[in-house]
Amino acid sequence: MSDPGWPTDIARRLKADLVGLLSGVRADVDWRVSVNSSAVALAAQADPPSMVRALTERLYDRTWDLALFVTDLPYRANARPVVLMLSRPERVGLVSLPSLGCFRVSPRARDAALYAVSELLAATAGPTSAREGVQRQGGTERYLVLPGRSGRLRLLAGMVRANRPWLLFTGLSRVLAVVFATASFGLLSSDVWNVSRHLGAGRACALTFLSITAVVAWLVIDHELWERPRGRLARHQAQLYNMATVVTLYLGIAFLYAALYVLIALTALFVLAPGTLGPVLGHAPGVAYYLSLAWFITSMATVGGALGAGLEDDQVVRQAAYGERQRLGQRQDTTWPDSGG
């Protein structure tokens, strides 16, 4: 079973690989793998044991021997990110995709799934790659966790990957329109031509950071993306969600900024002929000046794009907020069996 969206994509890739690979775990078993996509109740997301109970209830009327849940929810045990949780009495395992990082997620999920099956079957062999850099913790459930600061960074990177910041970039059409409209006026201003040549790399970098921060802050405030620790949402979980949201927004707006910079630079080269700029600057402009001008205009226009951020569709922007995206998934809860299970 899997959460809707990206986890379901991963689960379906796992299904294509697992039947053949599982024969290496137990050759005497006729393996059959089916995939079901379903959002579990929000109350069950508080901790892995609650998730196990919710899963067994969902699977009560089905025929199954082992269950593996693939989720994009982050879990921690003793403040360490959980990669895999195993509950041998219930024959259920849970793979947390964010703890797999942002690269090679499918191969890592496959290794984790094979390792989970081997452990649930009390087999002695299993893939070694799922064990690297992983520690165990005891109790009724068994956990594979990531150690130290590197594990927390990997968890954060995986959460940002789950947020898919490139979708935010493609969805901010109104911001793009406002920014480019603002930039068009800047391209025709002689004052802007003069200021840009005295800007300097240090100030230009600072202006870039401030302009992206302005859009990110406006998106967070206007669309109420900031998680506050209340109810079942623990304080550390709210902090983690907020960090993932802010990093996602920064990446999405940075991608937007880079694309606009290229577009504005090409427009400046095409529209502003050297003969037009020469009398104002006192010399013929070179390529370096055009790049500097585009940099300054992009930064100034991005600040204006913060106004356009308030016009964006709430659902598009809220996909960048980790907690809100989970709640949207609950409201869109659907369950369907994968064909050929």
Contact 134, 145 (CB under 8 A): yes
Contact 292, 192 (CB under 8 A): no
pLDDT of residue 334: 40
pLDDT per residue as tens digits for the range 279-290: 777 777 888 888
pLDDT per residue as tens digits for the range 191-235: 787 777 777 788 888 888 988 888 888 888 877 778 776 655 567
Residue 268's pLDDT band, with cuts at 50, 70 and 90, is confident
User: Of residues 140 and 193, which shows the higher confidence score?
Assistant: 193
DSSP structural state of residue 37: E
pLDDT of residue 306: 62
pLDDT per residue as tens digits for the range 27-44: 788 888 888 887 775 555
CA dihedral for 265, 270, 274, 280, sign (positive or negative): negative
pTM of the model: 0.77
Contact 74, 97 (CB under 8 A): no
Q: Where are the domains of the chain?
A: 6-151, 164-328
CA distance 11 to 3: 9
| pLDDT (mean) for 243-262 | 88
With a cut of 70, say whether residue 13 has pLDDT above it: yes
pLDDT of residue 320: 55
3-class SS string, 84-126: EEEECCCCEEEEEHHHHCCCCHHHHHHHHHHHHHHHHCCCCCC
pLDDT of residue 225: 78
| pLDDT (mean) for 310-325 | 57
pLDDT per residue as tens digits for the range 147-204: 878 888 888 899 888 888 877 766 666 667 777 777 777 777 777 877 777 777 888 8
pLDDT of residue 318: 62
Give the lowest-confidence range in 32-41, 90-99, 237-246: 32-41
pLDDT of residue 129: 39
CA distance 208 to 316: 24
Q: At 175, give phi and psi (nearest 5°).
A: -60, -45
Contact 102, 94 (CB under 8 A): no
Please state, for a pLDDT cut of 70, what percent of the chain lies above it. Answer: 77
CA distance 23 to 30: 8
Residue 109's pLDDT band, with cuts at 50, 70 and 90, is very high
